[in-house]
Amino acid sequence: MSFDFPDYPAPFQEMFQAALRGEHDGCFALLALALESRLFPTISRSVPQEFPRRIPKHIAQFWDSTPPPDDILTAMESVRLAHPDFTYHRANADSARAFIEAHFGTDIAALYEACPHPAMLSDFWRLCYLHIKGGVYIDADVICHAPVTDITKGAHFKTLLPYSVGNPWCLDNDILIYEAGNPIMQHIMETMFHKVRAFVETGVFENVWAITGPGAMVMGTMNWIAQQLKTHDVPFKEIDSFLTDSGIIFIPHPHIEQALPTYSHFAYQQTTANWRRFRPNL
């Protein structure tokens, strides 16, 4: 194996090599250490400015059935009303499938259909949809207290990656903001395709979180970053500026919660419609 990242200090050298190989533990360890040590760029809470010009002022949401339950409809309406200068789109399971087949073909649409839980359908569709359209995705169970522009003040970016501190640290996909065709988000999307395809071919179901949710976000992001740093021979001390110039910025999830709290209680959360309660019958 080639000797990659020769000027990177331990343990970063080993972690970037592991991320380059797509190793699960290395990707998650790298995310935590890189953010904790401020190696990756994070959003500044500085002066207000316009929403990034490369990103359409467009909001997308998903609920598998039509119409959504009343409490979900109320939450969705709070998002729409808080963004009068944004266009708005709500998808359901059928319209999402039609969109995916139209833009990605029947094979990818079949992967979408193979997802055994509505949360996975939503995870799958949001990456496909924003890859084509760009803009903002917000989970259906978010009651909006302020416009999304309140969390993007003082930042120029092409993709905003929310992260949560925990065991493990992870990248969240409940709020996504990025331009159409963004290369790192395309890589995350393709990572998700690979994970769903592996589930279909083997019948081994890890969990929703790992296959289409934050787990896929972490794996795709760390692998892409490692590939780019190697391809462009980026010195260790220039990682922050390289990622900033690439338009990538990370944001702590508590900053998002100030405008878009994701901890509200809804009726569906007490049923198997909540992905945390889901156990597939395979």
DSSP string for 17-58? HHHHTT-HHHHHHHHHHHHHTT-S-B----S--PPPTTS-SE
pLDDT(265) > 60: yes
**Sequence letter at residue 31:** L
Please write the tens of the pLDDT for every residue from 87-121: 999 999 999 999 999 999 999 999 999 999 999 99
Mean pLDDT of 220-234: 97
- The Cα 101–Cα 29 span in angstroms is 36
Residue 217 has which token pair?
Answer: 């976000």
Segment 188-211 shows an average pLDDT of 96
pLDDT value of position 282:
54
Burial label for 40, CB within 10 Å (0-12, 13-18, 19+), is buried
Instruction: Give, in degrees to the nearest 5, the angle at Cα 233 between 228 and 237.
Output: 95
Q: Which two tokens stand for residue 231?
A: 């391809």
Q: What is the pLDDT of residue 219?
A: 98
How far is Cα 212 from Cα 218, in angstroms, rounded to an integer? 11
Residue 267 has pLDDT above 90, yes or no: no
What is the rounded average pLDDT of the residues 198-227? 96
pLDDT band at 150 (very low <50, low <70, confident <90, very high): confident
pTM: 0.93
